[in-house]
Structure 1
Amino acid sequence: MADPAVIAHRGFAGVVPENTVAAARNVAEHTDASLLEMDVQPAACGTPVVIHDERLEGTRDGRPLTDAEGLVWETDLETIRNASVLGTAEPVPTLAELLEAIPETMAVNVELKNPGTAAIRFGESLPEDDRGERKAIWKPFVQRVVADCDAFAGELLFSSFCEGALAAVRDIAPAYAAAPLIWDDLEAGLEIARRYDCEAIHPPRNAIAGTGLAETEYAGLSSGDEPAIDLLEAAHDDGRAVNVWTAETWTQFDQLAEAGVDGIIADYPGLGTVSSQ
């Protein structure tokens, strides 16, 4: 069995300030990660910036995410770029700045978080009548993201919890790989992957049948029950890679690797090394 690819979640958020240039450089220079995962949203001017939360004043273990406040997409670019991340000297970067800071040998997973509105359709397989509208909402932002990514010659994978984002990617840049992120509806994730012929699918760690993690509560899925479908088998039968999020310990990583997933999105470097010893 091949070892799963290690995907650095927000640039290994467990050890370096997440979604920063410092995190990206650390992944590229000091780890064996196969992909760097990052989150993008627009500033008020539409420029893609690399940040996870909708609001600048989110928290991580009681520490403010940044020293600024407000909705990201309502905040001017200068304020965002001057905001320090988790009390460090690292600012929130633009997508272009982060991509310029890493070698093109580093593959990148760009998660499309939000196009600049609170009215997103999260984790849904959309009715046919709604798909065009949702794609149109995402399209201006996705065009800006793709323009920045086109300047980066490394391998790229776009992922999102929103079907509209994936529809826009397929319309604007069909040559790039894409993957739906799954929340609590496994069937919806498979439907979206098939609808847009996605190269991969990204389920939560407790969606993988036959592991101890499958009986734990996480990411909208309840504890105590095996998943209703064998998502790993179904995706592999369709010819799609399965990249699972998020491993926080080496024992979680080990269970997912033994199950045969293709990639593991992890908060810490070295989890795969520990599990193989």
Structure 2
Amino acid sequence: MSRPTRSRPAVIAHRGYAGVAPENTVAAAVRAAERDDTAMIEIDVQPAACGTPVVVHDDRLEGTHPRDGRPLTDADGLVRETPLEELQETRVLGTDETIPTLATLLEALPDTAGVNVELKNPGTTDLRFGEALAPDERDARRDVWKPFVERVVDECRAFDGDLLFSSFCEGALAALREAAPEYAAAPLVWDDLEAGLTIADRYDCEAIHPPRNAVAGVPLATTEYAGLPAAEPELDVLERAHEDGRAVNVWTVETWGQFDQLAAAGVDGIIADYPGLERAASAAASRTDRREP
């Protein structure tokens, strides 16, 4: 999401609002796109055994949902070792929804929808997650990602809606800038804010995506989340990014209170698990205003 002119942040549906829908499925994405308050839909892509980009988050098919312990799918094994035909028959979170190809999901969306494509895994275990790479490593990591990123870009070219590509891996963004420099890009930040800002500078990214506790001066900053400790950040990623003309889209928000804190701080986008958080935050603020003398 590039810097918006709106006073409230843009809402980005995390995996198609994973809190209320089977994540990363066509049904979730379509339902999210139907909401007027959804600016973008965030999805995760990695390759099937044949290299076709599929929309799924975890690198393994087994596992349990972090909230309620349900099996993530009715299959097991590594996504990148599973034939495409099997993936397309794999049920997600006990529903009739299956793991879609990227092309199938994009075809189901209107051109008015925006999509944030997270480049999750190119088909390898060596990801160099969350690192700003040394000069002698960048070309090698770009080449690891290049075949998969080119496949993803090819699938996306038929989609006329807005596209934003993000990744925790510098190699993915390097490959994207070489394959399709016209698309917006954003580094996802884990436990190293300086590395995220460095990568954003290095590839002239339009945005940066830090975790929700990385914004200085916000109560959330003193809570432990993702890779960051429960301590005030040593640098102001929001101020630094805005000085450089970059949007700050924060992940992942689950409550209206979290939404309200980050909106008040001036972030540009909020990647949310639930729809309607902005409306709930606005309603709560309105009730508070009415109670004040």
Give the CA deviation at 1:31.
4.6
For the Cα contact (< 8 Å) 1:16–1:23, is it kept in 2? Answer: yes
Amino acid in structure 1 at the alignment position of 2:233: P
Amino acid in structure 1 at the alignment position of 2:268: D
Query: TM (normalized to structure 2)?
Result: 0.93
SS at match of 2:213: helix
What does residue 237 of structure 1 align with?
243
For the Cα contact (< 8 Å) 1:253–1:272, is it kept in 2? Answer: yes
For the Cα contact (< 8 Å) 1:106–1:155, is it kept in 2? Answer: yes
In the alignment, does 2:154 pair up with 1:144? no
What does residue 202 of structure 2 align with?
195
What does residue 33 of structure 2 align with?
28
SS at match of 1:109: strand
In the alignment, does 2:226 pair up with 1:226? no
Structure with greater Cα Rg: 2
Amino acid in structure 2 at the alignment position of 1:80: L
Give the CA deviation at 1:136.
0.1
1:261 is aligned, of 267, 289, 292, to 267
Q: Which whole-Å CA distance do the structure 2 matches of 1:39 and 1:148 have between them? A: 14
- Between 204-213 and 61-70, report the one with greater CA deviation: 61-70
| Mapping 1:89-100, distance limit 5 Å | 89-100=96-107
In the alignment, does 2:64 pair up with 1:59? yes
For the Cα contact (< 8 Å) 1:31–1:269, is it kept in 2? Answer: no
Give the CA deviation at 1:148.
0.4
2:279 is aligned, of 259, 273, 276, to 273
Q: Which whole-Å CA distance do the structure 1 matches of 2:63 and 2:178 have between them? A: 33
Q: Which whole-Å CA distance do the structure 1 matches of 2:18 and 2:78 have between them? A: 22
What does residue 171 of structure 2 align with?
164
What does residue 224 of structure 2 align with?
217
| Mapping 1:37-52, distance limit 5 Å | 37-52=42-57
User: Could you report, residue by residue, the CA deviation over 1:59-112 in whole angstroms, capped at 9, with x for unpaired residues?
Assistant: 103111110110100110011110000000000000000000010110100000
In the alignment, does 2:126 pair up with 1:122? no
User: Could you report, residue by residue, the CA deviation over 1:154-211 in whole angstroms, capped at 9, with x for unpaired residues?
Assistant: 1100000000000000000000000000000000000000000000000000000011
Q: Which whole-Å CA distance do the structure 2 matches of 1:52 and 1:89 have between them? A: 18
For the Cα contact (< 8 Å) 1:204–1:245, is it kept in 2? Answer: yes
In the alignment, does 2:110 pair up with 1:103? yes
What does residue 184 of structure 1 align with?
191
Q: Which whole-Å CA distance do the structure 2 matches of 1:31 and 1:239 have between them? A: 26
Give the CA deviation at 1:30.
3.3
For the Cα contact (< 8 Å) 1:193–1:200, is it kept in 2? Answer: yes
1:248 is aligned, of 254, 259, 262, to 254
Give the CA deviation at 1:252.
0.3
Amino acid in structure 1 at the alignment position of 2:64: T
Q: Which whole-Å CA distance do the structure 2 matches of 1:24 and 1:153 have between them? A: 16
What does residue 16 of structure 1 align with?
21
Amino acid in structure 1 at the alignment position of 2:169: C
Amino acid in structure 2 at the alignment position of 1:269: P
* C-alpha spacing 1:8/1:140, structure 2 compared with 1 (3 Å): same
- Between 25-34 and 185-194, report the one with greater CA deviation: 25-34
Query: TM (normalized to structure 1)?
Result: 0.99
Q: Which whole-Å CA distance do the structure 1 matches of 2:180 and 2:9 have between them? A: 27
Give the CA deviation at 1:58.
2.2
Q: Which whole-Å CA distance do the structure 2 matches of 1:207 and 1:12 have between them? A: 22
SS at match of 1:36: strand
